[in-house]
Each structure stands twice: as C-alpha cells, then as structure tokens.
Amino acid sequence: MDGREDWVDIGSAEALAQTPLRRVEARSTSLAVSCRDGVFGAVSNACNHVGGPLGEGALDGDYITCPWHQWKFHRVTGKGEPGFEADAVPSFPVRVDSGRLQVNLAAPTRRTKQPHDPHSLARKIERAPGPLRLAGLSTTAMDPKNPRFSGSDHLLEAALESAKASGAETQLIRLNDLSFRACEGYYSKAAHACTWPCSITQMDPDDQLDRVYEALVHWADAVIVSTPIRWGAASSLYFRMAERLNCVQNAITTHNRVLIRNKVAGFIIVGGQDNIQGVAGQMLGFFAELGFLFPQFPYVAHSRGWSREDMEENVRIVQDSAELAQGAGELAQRCLHLAERLITTDHTPGRIMRGGRKAFPVAHKTKREANANE
Ligand code: FES
C-alpha cells in the first residue's frame, strides 16, 4: 500500500459476510468480494485470462475459481494459484468501520501477467505457399476393431484420389479416430468465454480436435465433409464436431474476425433412407456461418428412399457405382477450382460486421480493466 486512500463504503459487513463470494460495484470498479472465516477480501472482478467475472465464480479454499475457464486467484492477495503467482489480479485493501465494509480504491496492487505461450492454433492465419490443398473429413462412426464398408467414406476417398491426381495435396481426417470432448457450452456462460482457439483445446492437451481446427483454419483451401444419414440427419460425430466449431464462428460475433477466408466446402451424403436435402441444408447453412464458400452443386449424395431398406443392396450399389465415384471426384475438382479463384482474387474479408448485430459489449469489465487486458 502506497499511502493513497479513497475508502468506499460497499455495504453492511454483516450482510456481506453471509455470501462467500460476490460481485460488487464500487463506483466504476467491479470487485470480487469474498468472506471466509470472518476475513474479507476484495480483488478485481476481471480475470486475467479473457476477463471472466471472478465474483461469479466459486471459492476453493482461499482461491477464487473463475467461472469461465477455472483459472484461480487468491481472494485476498489476487495472486494466481501456486506455480502461477506471477499472474495476479489487482487486490484492494479492505476494512470494517462501524459495521460497514470499506474498500480502498486508491491503492490496488498491480495486475501482472505471467507470460503464457500462445497455443499454436492462435498463430496468424496465412496461406502457406504450395499446391492446392483438400482436406477430407469423415464423420461416420464405427468400431475401429471391426471396421465395415462405409459408403460415405468410400466416396470421400474417391474425391481425395481425384484431387491428388490433379496435383493437389490431400489429407484425410476421420473423426472416428480422434478422441475429443463434446462442446461444454462456454458460449452459454458468455460469448467471450468461447475463445479462439477453443477453450477445451487450450486447456486439454489430450483433446484431439486440434487436428480439425488446424486443417480447416490453417491448412486446407477446400474441405469435403462426408456423412451417413442417421435418422434424417448428419452423423452424431458430425454434430459433436460442429458444436466445437462454435469458436470459429464466435470469433466473428465477439471480434468481427473472420478465421475462414478464401476457403471452399463440399459435402458427401449417403443414406439408406432419404432426407438428403435436409442434411445438405443443415451442413450448407452451418459451413456458410463459418465463412466457407461453395461451388456450384456443392454436394453429391446417394439414397434409395423409404421403400428400399435392403441395406446390403444399398452398400453394394455405392461400392459398385462408377457414377457416384466420378461425381465425388468432380465435386473435389469444383471445390479446388473455386478455391484457386478465391486465393487468386483474395476478396473475402478478414473482418466483418454481422448484419444487424450490435457491437458486442464486454459486460464484465470496466473500461480501465478492459484496457488492462488488451
Ligand atoms: S479463466 Fe477466467 S476468463 Fe478464462
């Protein structure tokens, strides 16, 4: 404490002692005020990470756990948990005077940040020179120990073969081979809690969806996603991935930042029964929201409809169909041709205001705290 004083009354000490942790506004400063064993603490409400509201977190002993991504700060000193002490949020002196809790706003400790190596996905998005690149994303689920023929995989492989034959680099990612967590809804806590790179990816080195982010955001010029139809929709693995891609779309919502630029998507949809157009519509809509563009006729598909549930025959038809394999190859070529034109003209924006949406407020930070976090 440097002797400066600006004591502000923030309420009855008895009443504040009833709640272990709460957010309190003291003039224009937002505080996380805590009480444990009769000892009060007051630290900045804004977490060092991306500004999460510490006062809405929980106490773990004397540490406040941020409700967004669980960073921890001492409730009295503001210092990070053991091992991360150099990461500190401002703490404020407190005193009880005539039954009232007061905070000295004039003498906070400094906010300090321990350098954290940024995740490799956070690097600048720049197309590396080289031939066109097509990523194939297989979303079918099967027992890896007892694999079976997959019509959607079969056609995806035909698409990649065609791309390779025309000189493109290709990469096949099977979601079934990756271990990755379901989206845990950080966005539902606050839009700014859903970060790029994905919060789960940053926190969990064992989560393997980083391969998909790397391919879609950094590596590929075009992507073809293949899916079976399951109960009239794309596969469950597709949706598990799609939910995790919220962080790519959310970069536009929170920062007007377009991560997917000059990239093209196409789809392969194979089902025993129908609803091809419904599945394609969902996939087109979702990938459009991410920022992908589409070639003419952006999907190839196969289904034999309600009255043809003879699946063995359905499999055989896909396996033997030269037309479907050719169609998948031509889809790859359409995707790559459009990608080449987009790369040459480079016309898609890096930033965009999304139609009709207001600039997004950073609700939990005072202006000073927001600046501190820049
Ligand atoms: S841990 Fe606090 S904002 Fe991420």
The pLDDT of residue 32 is 98
**Pocket flag, ligand 1, residue 71 (CB < 6 Å):** yes
Residue 86 has, within 13 A of its CA and on its CB side, a CA count of: 5
* Ligand 1 pocket test, candidate residues 23, 30, 50, most atoms within 8 A of CB: 50
Could you tell me the residue range of the domain that residue 182 belongs to?
A: 120-345
- Rounded to an integer, what is the distance from CA 174 to the centroid of its chain? 19
Mean pLDDT taken over the chain: 92
Residues 213 and 313 in one domain: yes
Q: Which residues contact 328 (CB under 8 A, 6 or more apart)?
A: 155, 156, 158, 159, 162, 224, 268, 300
Query: Mean pLDDT over residues 260-266, rounded?
Result: 97
**Pocket flag, ligand 1, residue 217 (CB < 6 Å):** no
Residue 359 pLDDT grade (very low, low, confident, very high; cuts 50, 70, 90): low
**Structural domain contains residue 175:** yes
Distance 263 CA to ligand 1 centre (A): 31
DSSP 242: H
* Ligand 1 pocket test, candidate residues 68, 72, 73, 196, most atoms within 8 A of CB: 68
Residues forming beta bridges with residue 134, ordered by sequence position: 170, 222
Inter-CA distances, 279 with 54, 194, 337, Å: 41, 26, 24
CATH assignment of the domain containing 81 = 2.102.10.10
Numbers of helices and strands, H then E, in the chain: 11, 14
Residue 310 pLDDT grade (very low, low, confident, very high; cuts 50, 70, 90): confident
Is residue 73 within 8 A of residue 88, CB to CB? The reply is: yes
pLDDT tens readout for residues 84-98: 999 999 999 999 999
Q: Which of 329, 144, 125 has the alpha carbon at shortest distance from 224?
A: 329
Q: What angle do CA 79, 186, 189 make, to 5 degrees?
A: 80
Q: Which residue type sits at 197?
A: P
Distance 43 CA to ligand 1 centre (A): 15
Residue 357 pLDDT grade (very low, low, confident, very high; cuts 50, 70, 90): low
Residues 95 and 155 in one domain: no
Q: How many domains does the chain have?
A: 2
- Measured distance CA(84)–CA(71) in Å, rounded: 10
CB atoms within 10 A of CB 86: 11
* Ligand 1 pocket test, candidate residues 71, 73, 204, most atoms within 8 A of CB: 71
Residue 352 pLDDT grade (very low, low, confident, very high; cuts 50, 70, 90): confident
Q: Which residue type sits at 307?
A: S
Query: Mean pLDDT over residues 22-45, rounded?
Result: 97
Position of tokens 């996905």?
Answer: 121
State residue 158 phi and psi, 5-degree precision: -65, -40
Query: Mean pLDDT over residues 266-282, rounded?
Result: 94
**Pocket flag, ligand 1, residue 265 (CB < 6 Å):** no
DSSP 261: -
Is residue 44 within 8 A of residue 32, CB to CB? The reply is: yes
Tell me the three-class secondary structure of 286-298, residue by residue. Answer: HHHHHCCECCCCC
**Pocket flag, ligand 1, residue 49 (CB < 6 Å):** yes
The encoded tokens of residue 319 equal: 């396996």
pLDDT at 147 over 60: yes
pLDDT tens readout for residues 340-351: 999 999 877 788
Query: Mean pLDDT over residues 139-162, rounded?
Result: 95
Inter-CA distances, 182 with 65, 71, 179, 185, Å: 22, 21, 10, 9
Residues 191 and 334 in one domain: yes
The pLDDT of residue 363 is 46
Q: Which of 283, 214, 273 has the alpha carbon at shortest distance from 242?
A: 283
- Measured distance CA(198)–CA(204) in Å, rounded: 10
Residues 225 and 311 in one domain: yes
**Pocket flag, ligand 1, residue 69 (CB < 6 Å):** yes
**Pocket flag, ligand 1, residue 50 (CB < 6 Å):** yes
Residues 142 and 267 in one domain: yes
Q: Which residues contact 140 (CB under 8 A, 6 or more apart)?
A: 150, 152, 153, 174, 176, 226, 227, 228, 235, 237
Is residue 300 within 8 A of residue 327, CB to CB? The reply is: yes
Residues 230 and 326 in one domain: yes
Residue 307 pLDDT grade (very low, low, confident, very high; cuts 50, 70, 90): confident
Position of tokens 């989560």?
Answer: 207
- Measured distance CA(275)–CA(304) in Å, rounded: 10
The pLDDT of residue 361 is 52
The pLDDT of residue 114 is 85
Residues 142 and 258 in one domain: yes
Return the percentage of the chain with pLDDT > 70, whole number.
Answer: 94
Distance 193 CA to ligand 1 centre (A): 7
Residue 305 pLDDT grade (very low, low, confident, very high; cuts 50, 70, 90): confident
Residues 182 and 301 in one domain: yes
- Nearest-CA residue for atom 3 of ligand 1: 52
**Pocket flag, ligand 1, residue 47 (CB < 6 Å):** yes
**Pocket flag, ligand 1, residue 228 (CB < 6 Å):** no
**Pocket flag, ligand 1, residue 68 (CB < 6 Å):** yes
3-state secondary structure at position 137: strand
pLDDT tens readout for residues 156-205: 999 999 999 999 999 999 999 999 999 998 888 888 899 999 999 999 99
Domain boundary among 116, 151, 172: 116
**Pocket flag, ligand 1, residue 52 (CB < 6 Å):** yes
The pLDDT of residue 360 is 54
Distance 42 CA to ligand 1 centre (A): 18
pLDDT at 364 over 50: no
- Measured distance CA(176)–CA(268) in Å, rounded: 17
**Structural domain contains residue 351:** no
The encoded tokens of residue 70 equal: 């669980």
Is residue 44 within 8 A of residue 28, CB to CB? The reply is: no
- Nearest-CA residue for atom 1 of ligand 1: 69
CATH assignment of the domain containing 262 = 3.40.50.360
Distance 177 CA to ligand 1 centre (A): 30
